[in-house]
Amino acid sequence: MQCDNEGRLRHLLTLEGLPRGALEALLDRAQALTEAARGGTSLRGRLAGRTACTLFFEPSTRTRGSFQLAAQRLGMDVVNVDVSTSSAKKGETDLDTLRTLEAMGVDAFIVRHGHSGAVDDLAAGAAAGTVLVNGGDGTRAHPTQGLLDMLTLRQAKGQDFSGLKVVVVGDVRHSRVARSDIHALKALGIGELRVCGPAGLLPDRADPLLAGVVSTASLDEAVEGVDAVFMLRLQRERMEEGLVPSLDGYFAAYGLDERRLARARPDAVVLHPGPMNRGVEISPEVADGPRSLILRQVANGVAVRMAVLEQLLAG
């Protein structure tokens, strides 16, 4: 469970089912922390003496670095564990690894894992005072990415999402980022939500994720009149699986370039979780253009992760 018996957030495992009030409270606090997230020592006493561990069972640069900076801005000690080179390769279970680090005094674990639901299993086996944050698991969830995307959209478009049209483009079926974004957008009352991509990269229509969502295979139609475009990274293994005929073909059909972006509203913004495949899902001109919020997303990640750690550990 994410919450304790009194309804307080104990872990952050997913945005699915998280109440709107809880989402907004985290976003409000993250907004208040944006200046401190850039640097300085003003909050170094907030969680001084507490220890965070980035426990990563698969590689990541930006998520790990962002969490490390967030913890340090709050005065925490930080331990980085790359499980691919740890004793887990010798037969130790994931839970054994976590409990070993707990015994060393780790208070909070940020876990990146290749299997959906693995972080929930670790949370279920953690000690009573330990908190876990899902740093991305399988194709299921990446809650802090979803939060930083919502913060970035709020900064650009205001807190009321009810009049906005948003499209999520690309490999929605396999994207934990897309799932977290869609759950968050729904919870925050988005006016119209669309998804677009090849049929093999979109969830089945029966998937509850698509309830109330407009689905289309035409990117030209999908971006028409939208206020924000959320692009997703295309994993190259989709070519090996036969879901994408070629990278060039994918860009021709689903790549966001200036011509397509012109179909959106004049003040539409573009987001991408990174890392980008330039010329595959997004053109360099759009990625580096005036409507791109990609670097702001990266900056907001530190503030969001500070807000999450603070709420989970400071009570």
235 assigned binding-site residue: no
112 assigned binding-site residue: yes
- Is the distance from CB of 77 to CB of 50 less than 8 angstroms? yes
233 assigned binding-site residue: yes
Q: At what angle do helices 143-157 and 294-314 cross, to 10 degrees?
A: 120
> Residues 61-100, buried b or exposed e (16+ Cβ, 10 A)?
eebbebbbbbbbbbebbbbebebeebebeeeeebeebbbe
Check the CA dihedral 297-302-303-306 and report its sign. positive
Q: Which amino acid would we find at residue 90?
A: K
Per the DSSP assignment, residues forming a β-bridge with 245 are: none
- Is the distance from CB of 171 to CB of 234 less than 8 angstroms? yes
176 assigned binding-site residue: yes
145 assigned binding-site residue: yes
What are the backbone dihedrals phi and psi of residue 62, each rounded to the nearest 5 degrees, phi first?
A: -70, -40
263 assigned binding-site residue: no
- Please report which helix (H) or strand (E) contains residue 180, including its range: helix 176-187
311 assigned binding-site residue: no
259 assigned binding-site residue: no
Strands ordered across the beta sheet of 51-56: 77-82, 51-56, 108-113, 131-137
299: buried, middle or exposed (CB in 10 Å: 19+, 13-18, 0-12)?
Answer: middle
CA dist., res. 75 & res. 294, Å (int): 27
165 assigned binding-site residue: no
- Is the distance from CB of 294 to CB of 300 less than 8 angstroms? no
- Is the distance from CB of 147 to CB of 304 less than 8 angstroms? yes
174 assigned binding-site residue: no
**Residues flagged as binding site for L-aspartate:** 90, 176, 233
**Residues flagged as binding site:** 62-63, 90, 112, 142, 145, 176, 233, 274-275
**Residues flagged as binding site for carbamoyl phosphate:** 62-63, 112, 142, 145, 274-275
